Structure formats: structure tokens, C-alpha cells
């Protein structure tokens, strides 16, 4: 998250145990955090959760600036309120904070953070994970579809060496135009 707060997606495969009793069956679901990640849920949830993190960052920046300017601020999800007498001031703050947030290359920062946090930390050593990934790349296998356990303690088991992390090309939007947008925020 751009504000530096951690964002966690607790989507794991659930282990189930079916118990038969004399009169029915009961299925128990285990959620103790030791199950492997549910890759389908993780992939599907990541884009909207990332956008939510940007929205919440915008809200926090707006709230902090309103406090600094001694403006009453209230919010529920993405609906912000203030007193009628300070609506124009809050509108200006909303736009300014949006511009400040998105002036930074957020997707590049995210990609750099993911690479830094989840890359194999032992790339230049005898990490069996790195060697296994190199073999799979040589065979043309997609690294995103292969998870290899590395016996080296601390290895995060991900190789970004040949991963396809191409960011979308930036457009030509002048963020400062947001200041003049009538319907910027509802």
C-alpha cells in the first residue's frame, strides 16, 4: 500500500475433514494458516485489493490534510463528508491529494517492492530453487505456474529473473486536469 501499511490477502486452501455420526455427517474446515495459498483466489483478488489500497491511501492523505487544515472529516468506504461550509475546501484537498498520490509511479513501486520482497535472496549462491527455476526456464515452462521449495532457510521461493512483469505504458493524462473536474469525487 502506498502509505506503507501492509496489505495481506489471507486466501488459503482449506483442508476439510468429513465426520460421520450416527444420524448425519459433519464437515470440519481447518483454517490454521498452515495450508498452502489458494493461487486462484490470490490472483483474482489482487487487482481489486490493490485498487482499494490506492483508494484508502487517498482517503488517509485527505483525512490527514483536513486535520492539518482543521476541517471536519468523516468517511465510510469511499464517501467523504464535511460541513457544508468547508465543502469547497475539502474538494480542493481531495484533488490535491489525488494528484500527489498518483504523481508517483505506483505500479513501478509495487513491482519493485514485490521483486525486493519475494525474489530468491540467494540467487548468486547454490540455492536449489534458483537452479530448478533455471532448468524450467530452459524447458520453456512458465515460472508463475511452478512453485519449487527451496531448502535454504529464508529463501522466498520466487524467481523474477525471466518473469513477465511488464507494466502498462503510461498515457498522457495531465493529472493537474483533475483540479478542474466538476465530477471528480461524489
- 17: alpha, beta or left? (left if phi > 0; alpha if psi -120 to 50): beta
DSSP run (H or E) holding 154: none
- The DSSP bridge partners found for residue 12 are 37
Name the catalytic one among 38, 55, 78, 116: 78
Tell me the C-alpha distance between 43 and 9, whole Å.
Answer: 10
All three cell numbers of 177: 486536469
Asked whether the CA dihedral 170, 171, 176, 180 is positive or negative, the reply is negative
Catalytic residue flag (residue 112) = no
Tell me the C-alpha distance between 129 and 67, whole Å.
Answer: 49
So which residues are the catalytic ones? 78
Amino acid at each position: 500500500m502506498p502509505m506503507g501499511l501492509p496489505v495481506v490477502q489471507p486466501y488459503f486452501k482449506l483442508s476439510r475433514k468429513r465426520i460421520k455420526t450416527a444420524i448425519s455427517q459433519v464437515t470440519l474446515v481447518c483454517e490454521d494458516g498452515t495450508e498452502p495459498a489458494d493461487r486462484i483466489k490470490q490472483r483474482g483478488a489482487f487487482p481489486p485489493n490493490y485498487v482499494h489500497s490506492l483508494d484508502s491511501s487517498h482517503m488517509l492523505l485527505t483525512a490527514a490534510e483536513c486535520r492539518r487544515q482543521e476541517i471536519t472529516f468523516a468517511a465510510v468506504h469511499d464517501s467523504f463528508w464535511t460541513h457544508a461550509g468547508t465543502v469547497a475546501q475539502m474538494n480542493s484537498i481531495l484533488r490535491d491529494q489525488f494528484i500527489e498520490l498518483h504523481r508517483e509511479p505506483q505500479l513501478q513501486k509495487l513491482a519493485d517492492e514485490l521483486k525486493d520482497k519475494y525474489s530468491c535472496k540467494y540467487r548468486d549462491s547454490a540455492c536449489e530453487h534458483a537452479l530448478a527455476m533455471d532448468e524450467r526456464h530452459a524447458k520453456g515452462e512458465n515460472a508463475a505456474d511452478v512453485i519449487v521449495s527451496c531448502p535454504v532457510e529464508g529463501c522466498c521461493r520466487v524467481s523474477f529473473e525471466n518473469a513477465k512483469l511488464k507494466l502498462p505504458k503510461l498515457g498522457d493524462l495531465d493529472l493537474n486536469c483533475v483540479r478542474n473536474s466538476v465530477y471528480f469525487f461524489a
